[in-house]
Every structure is written in structure tokens, then in C-alpha cells.
Amino acid sequence: MSGLIELKNVSKNYGDLRALDSISLDIPAGKIVGLVGPNGAGKTTLLRALTGELDYQGEARVLGLEPRTKRAQLMLKTGVIHDIAVLPSWMKVKDLLTFLDGIHPGFGREKAESFLATTTIPMGSRIKTLSKGMKTQLHLAVTLACDTNLMILDEPTHGLDILFRKQLYTSVLEDYFDEQKTLLISTHQIEEVEHILSDVIFINKGKILLYASIEELGKRFAQLTIPADQADTLRKELKPISEYGLLGRKVFLLENPDTKALMTIGDVQTPSVADIFVALMGGEA
């Protein structure tokens, strides 16, 4: 393995519950990776293992460091934004910037202030008085202002409106991402981020169902739309991994099909990442 994130047979048990089940991954720098799974799939447990917050079985290296024993060094190069505010609620915004400027060698106060100038967050307000959207913006500002090589977004837009969600991801792409860094986005709403992803990881019940690039998905899967009265015959021949009805027609999702042959049968399209995920989940997402 030679990636920015390297895992080999990583497992985690909570009593009889196997939260992570022999996960192996090799994620290089310069990638925007979607970690996709339903609630309870193991996404947050995996992220906590990556950042050394919990113990686990197996081998892990993140930014060349073992997360459990080198957590302090690791977090100097890792930015994390959760859906739950973890900023000190009693502090004023300006005091938070002063505090981070004093303890984090990679923190750029001017960059944080520049980002906050584009928001309506008052520098003199206490964090506990800010709205959820403002707290997320503040968290994003101080995270983007740190010199990090890995950014982890753990359901960061949960409960926020669509305009703010779009603004957040745009800010991350414009102000953070480059070919030397990796962005790992954990979500169960793949539709809002699939257009920016380079790779995707599907996880459920602690197991990795699929790890592939978006380009690979486009080559591996196809969506075929046909008249409903042809479905029974073609189903036996094509063996779709999922199907659904649409305005009197049938839509098949196929894996490793002969695309040229399909074009003589019906309308062929590249399925969305969400459609592929639901198919592999057996419709349980």
C-alpha cells in the first residue's frame, strides 16, 4: 500500500456488534472520495478509527502515521467537520481565532478572517448564540484556515438548507482541495456530492461493498429503459441487478453489459451513483 490513507483488515467490535469488518483500503492523495452508506453502516466508526479516536484491530496508516499512537501529530495535518458542533460554545468568535492561532502551528488567522468576512457571523458573538448554519460556517472557516493534507467531512450539511449545502462544498473545493490533498466525505445523501467525487466507497454493516472511481462505475454499470411489455423476456436474458417502473416503461440496471448490444434494444444511460448504491444494497438504502 502507498496511499495517503492505508487500511489493512481493520475491524471494530462493540460487544457482539461488528461495526467494522476486515476493511482494507488504499486511498491516494488528490482524491475526493465519497463514503456512502445508510445510517448505522459504520461510516462514523471508520472515520473515528482513521483519526485515532478509538481502538481497533488490524493495521492503519494515515498520512504515514499510526492513528492510535500518533493522534496528536495526525490531527495537525487533518481537518474534520462533523454534523454536530464541537466548537467551545462559551467562546466568542474572535477569541476562538486567537486561541487557535496560539496552539495550532498551521493555522492561518488571516485566511479564517477572510472567509468569515463573506458570512454574517459577528466576530464578537459567543458561539452558543450562533445558528446551526453559522456554527458550520465557523467550523469550516477555521478548518480551511489550517494547513492540512486530509479533510474529513462527516455529514456536515445535515439539517441545513440546499443553498448552504451547495455553498459549503463549493468553498471546500475552491479554498482547500488540490492534487496533494485528499477530501473524504461521509454521507447517506450521495445525490448532493456525486458531481464532485473522483471515487466512491459503499459501506454497509461494517463491510465495504465497493470501492471504485466514478470513471470505473460509468464503464461497469449501465441503465436500460425499455417498453414494459418487453420486460419479462429481457429480464431472463439480461439479468438486471435492479429494476423499476417509469411512466409505463421499465428501467433495468445492468452490470458489465454489452453496451452496443443494449443500444439496439432500448435507451441506454449511465446510472447515477445513487442508483448503483441502491441496487447493490438490494433496495435497502
Average pLDDT, the chain: 89
Q: Tell me, yes or no, whether 13 lies in a domain.
A: yes
Kindly state the percentage of the chain with pLDDT values over 90. Answer: 56
Q: Tell me, yes or no, whether 177 lies in a domain.
A: yes
159 confidence band (pLDDT: 50, 70, 90)? low
Q: Are residues 55 and 157 in the same domain?
A: yes
Q: Please give the tally of structural domains in the chain.
A: 2
169 confidence band (pLDDT: 50, 70, 90)? confident
What CATH number should be reported for the domain holding residue 71?
A: 3.40.50.300
For residue range 15-31, list pLDDT tens digits in order: 999 999 999 999 999 99
What was the pLDDT predicted at 97? 95
What was the pLDDT predicted at 84? 67
Q: Are residues 74 and 165 in the same domain?
A: yes
| Statement: residue 284 has pLDDT above 60 | no
Last-in-domain residue among 213, 230, 254: 213
Q: Are residues 229 and 188 in the same domain?
A: no
Alpha-carbon distance 211 to 213, whole Å? 7
Q: Are residues 160 and 256 in the same domain?
A: no
Q: Are residues 27 and 157 in the same domain?
A: yes
Lookup: cell for 166: 451547495
Q: Are residues 80 and 144 in the same domain?
A: yes
> Mean pLDDT across the stretch 184-207?
90
283 confidence band (pLDDT: 50, 70, 90)? low
Q: For residue 269, how many other CB atoms are within 10 A of its CB?
A: 12
Domain residue limits at 202: 5-213
Q: Are residues 82 and 128 in the same domain?
A: yes
The partner residues of 23 in beta bridges, in order of sequence, read 10
Alpha-carbon distance 25 to 226, whole Å? 38
Last-in-domain residue among 166, 181, 213: 213
Q: Are residues 124 and 145 in the same domain?
A: yes
For residue 112, with 0-12 CB atoms within 10 Å meaning exposed, 13-18 middle and 19 or more buried, which class applies? buried
For residue range 47-101, list pLDDT tens digits in order: 999 999 999 999 999 999 999 999 999 999 998 887 666 788 899 999 999 999 9
Q: Tell me, yes or no, whether 273 lies in a domain.
A: yes
For residue range 94-150, list pLDDT tens digits in order: 999 999 999 888 899 999 999 899 888 999 999 999 988 888 889 888 988 888 999
Q: Are residues 266 and 203 in the same domain?
A: no
What was the pLDDT predicted at 250? 92
Pairing of strands 249-255, 221-227: antiparallel
* pTM score over 0.85: yes
Q: Are residues 269 and 203 in the same domain?
A: no
Alpha-carbon distance 17 to 219, whole Å? 36
Q: Tell me, yes or no, whether 243 lies in a domain.
A: yes
Cβ contact 210:41 at 8 Å: no
Q: Are residues 95 and 30 in the same domain?
A: yes
Cβ contact 83:156 at 8 Å: yes
Last-in-domain residue among 180, 213, 246: 213
Q: Tell me, yes or no, whether 50 lies in a domain.
A: yes
What CATH number should be reported for the domain holding residue 237?
A: 3.30.70
Q: Tell me, yes or no, whether 285 lies in a domain.
A: no
Q: Are residues 95 and 231 in the same domain?
A: no
